[in-house]
Amino acid sequence: MKEFSKEVYLKWYEDMTMWRRFEDKCRSLYLKQKIRGFLHLYNGQEAIPAGFTHAMDLTKDSMITAYRCHIHPMAMGVDPKRIMAELCGKATGTSGGMGGSMHIFSKEHRFYGGHGIVGGQIPLGAGIAFADKYFDRKAVNICFFGDGAARQGSLHETFNMAMNWKLPVVFVVENNQYAMGTSVKRTANHEDIYKLGLGYEMPCLAVDAMDPEKVAEAAYEAIERARRGDGPTFIEARTYRYRGHSMSDAEPYRSKEEVAVHKNDDPIELVKHRILENGWATEQELEAIDNKSRDFVDECVEFMENSPYPEAEKIYEYVYAQEDYPFLDKLEN
């Protein structure tokens, strides 16, 4: 794996500060009704995509996740301006403004969503890995899901098949402690979610997911195992989200004091501390990176504001692959 160099840490700091500001700006745009529907923010979990993409081969590996999906595609190389446009339903968005917050997608960068169905992406991730193995692409799929989705029955079916066929997939539960407003402690007779892999003799482990180094180390071992043909790994990425489940979440299930305690482990502050500790940058240089991140997010908003909404007739283009589908005749008549 690439070493954790000065360049890596400075890139992490620039990326993670931009991601945090991007999500904060999304919150502001939602309150202004520029973003409609649901909006799930990623604040606090930035070390996970930072660590995983450090360990991945971005020329062939792929990723799939749930509805908290704005940051993962950025880490894979998708233009944040197009993501912002998609969030606001603009034609320049990653899905032409037709997907919105929960359905970011990029075939070019092998980012396959963005799924609103809880746990729906788990078998899909294994399916992508099956295709990679079938066509001998030497590629690995990273399949993310939340702690709530770990209770879906499809997880067990998928784990069984993935181990049986030794599929090149890494399953990652982003355990941010709450499935919507339900604590992990209340959803099962155990709190160590990673142990679900033991029933399938799948290598499994928990990792401190507030530290991108620890995430990258665990990710690299799992990815290389999959690439060798030895099958999947299940990683429990233990993290914490600083915002509510979605913008409609008043967070009655946790206290401000609890959130404040977890903010002591802020992954961005951890990266900043290591940079300063190693003398890789000064406070002034990091402040300049912060300002650069703020300016770039403003550019994303400007790009979105200057982009048109999709034309009304486009609504039917992404529904039916068959151009002469009979239902369209009924609409016209």
Q: Are 85 and 26 in contact (CB under 8 A)?
A: no
Pairing of strands 182-183, 178-179: antiparallel
Q: Tell whether 202 is covered by a domain.
A: yes
- Is 330 part of any domain? no
pLDDT grade, residue 329 (50/70/90)?
Answer: low
User: Tens digit of pLDDT for each residue in 109-135?
Assistant: 999 999 999 999 999 999 999 999 999
Reply yes or no on whether the pLDDT at 333 is more than 60. no
Whether residue 321 is contained in a domain is answered as: no
Instruction: Kindly report the CATH number assigned to the domain that includes residue 139.
Output: 3.40.50.970
Instruction: State the pLDDT at residue 330.
Output: 65
pLDDT band, residue 21 (cuts 50/70/90): very high
pLDDT at 131: 98
> What is the dihedral angle through the alpha carbons of 15, 20, 23, 28, rounded to the nearest 10 degrees?
-130
Least confident of 52-56, 250-254, 303-307, 324-328: 324-328
42-46, 135-139, 182-186, 260-264: segment of lowest average pLDDT = 182-186
Section 306-321 average pLDDT: 85
Please report whether residue 249 resides in a domain.
yes
Q: What percent of the chain has pLDDT over 90?
A: 91
Establish if 134 belongs to a structural domain: yes
- Indicate whether 43 belongs to any domain: yes
Instruction: Say what the pLDDT of residue 74 is.
Output: 98
Q: Tell me the β-bridge partners of 205.
A: 235
Q: In the predicted model, what is the mean pLDDT of residues 221-241?
A: 98
* pLDDT mean over 187-194: 91
Q: What is the pTM of this model?
A: 0.94
pLDDT of residue 217: 98
Give how far Cα 9 sits from Cα of 22, 45, 167, 275, 303, Å. 20, 17, 32, 7, 28
- Give the range of the structural domain holding residue 106, as residue numbers without chain letter: 6-309
Does 320 reside within a domain?
Answer: no
Instruction: Report pLDDT digits (tens) over 246-281.
Output: 999 999 999 999 999 999 999 999 999 999 999 999
Which band of pLDDT confidence, cut at 50, 70 and 90, is reported for residue 331?
low
In a domain, 318, yes or no: no
The pLDDT, as a whole number, for residue 188 is: 86
Instruction: Determine the Cα angle at 318 with ends 315 and 321, to 5°.
Output: 130
| Number of separate domains in the chain | 1
pLDDT averaged over every residue in the chain: 95
